[in-house]
Structure 1
Amino acid sequence: MTAYQHLARTATNRWWKTLLGFVLAPIAYLVVAGAGALVLFVPRGGTDVGPLAEFALGIGAVALMLPVVLLVAWVTQGRRPGTLSSVVGRIRWRWLLVCALLAVGTTVLSLGLSTAVTGGEEYRWAGWATFAPALFVVLALVPVQAAAEEYLCRGWILQSVAAFVPLRWIAIGVQALVFTLLHGIGTGWGFVDLMVFGGVAGWLAIRTGGLEAGIALHVVNNVLAFGIAVSAVGGLSIDETAADSEWQTVVVDIAVIVGYAVLVRWLATRKKIETEPAEVTPPLVLVPNPVP
Structure 2
Amino acid sequence: MTEKNKISKFITFPTTFENYKWYKPILVFIVTAIMYLILNGIITLIFYAIFGQNMISSIVFGGYEVMNTEAGQIYSDLGIIIILPALYVATKVIKDRPLSSYASSRGGFNYRLYFKALLIPIIIYVIFEIINIFTVGIKGTNHFSIPFFIVCIILVPLQCISEEFAFRGLIMQSIGSWVKIPVLTIVIQAIIFAALHGYNNLGVLIIFISGLVMGFFAWKTNG
Q: Which runs of 5+ in 2 are unaligned?
A: 60-68
Tell me how far apart the structure 2 counterparts of residues 30 and 121 of structure 1 sit (CA, whole Å): 43
SS at match of 2:55: coil
Residue among 35, 39, 50 paired with 1:28? 35
Higher Cα radius of gyration: 1
Aligned residues: 204
Q: Does 1:140 align with 2:140?
A: no
Superposed structure 1 runs of 4+ greater than 3 Å apart: 42-51, 73-77, 106-113, 119-122
Pair 1:42–1:143, CA change in 2 (3 A): same
SS at match of 2:178: coil
Alignment deviations for residues 147-174 of structure 1 (CA, whole Å, 9 cap, x no partner):
1111111111111111111211221112
Q: Does 1:183 align with 2:197?
A: yes
Tell me how far apart the structure 2 counterparts of residues 44 and 182 of structure 1 sit (CA, whole Å): 27
Larger helix fraction of residues:
2
Pair 1:109–1:152, CA change in 2 (3 A): farther
The one-letter code of the counterpart of 1:23 is I
Cα deviation, residue 112, structure 1 = 6.2
The one-letter code of the counterpart of 1:196 is I
Percent identity among equivalent residues? 24
SS at match of 2:153: helix
Cα deviation, residue 93, structure 1 = 2.7
Pair 1:44–1:102, CA change in 2 (3 A): closer
Pair 1:110–1:138, CA change in 2 (3 A): same
Tell me how far apart the structure 1 counterparts of residues 125 and 175 of structure 2 sit (CA, whole Å): 30
Aligned to 1:257: none
Q: Could you tell me the TM-score, scaled by structure 2's length?
A: 0.78
* Greater alpha carbon shift after TM alignment, 201-210 vs 77-86: 77-86
Q: Which runs of 5+ in 1 are unaligned?
A: 211-292
Pair 1:142–1:43, CA change in 2 (3 A): closer
Question: C-alpha root-mean-square deviation of aligned residues, in Å?
Answer: 2.7
Alignment deviations for residues 84-142 of structure 1 (CA, whole Å, 9 cap, x no partner):
221233323333222222231233355567x49xx758603415xx4333322221210
* Greater alpha carbon shift after TM alignment, 148-157 vs 177-186: 177-186
Q: Could you tell me the TM-score, scaled by structure 1's length?
A: 0.61
Aligned to 2:70: 52
The one-letter code of the counterpart of 2:40 is A
Aligned to 2:220: 207
1:179/1:194 contact within 8 Å kept:
yes
Pair 1:123–1:43, CA change in 2 (3 A): closer
Tell me how far apart the structure 1 counterparts of residues 90 and 127 of structure 2 sit (CA, whole Å): 38
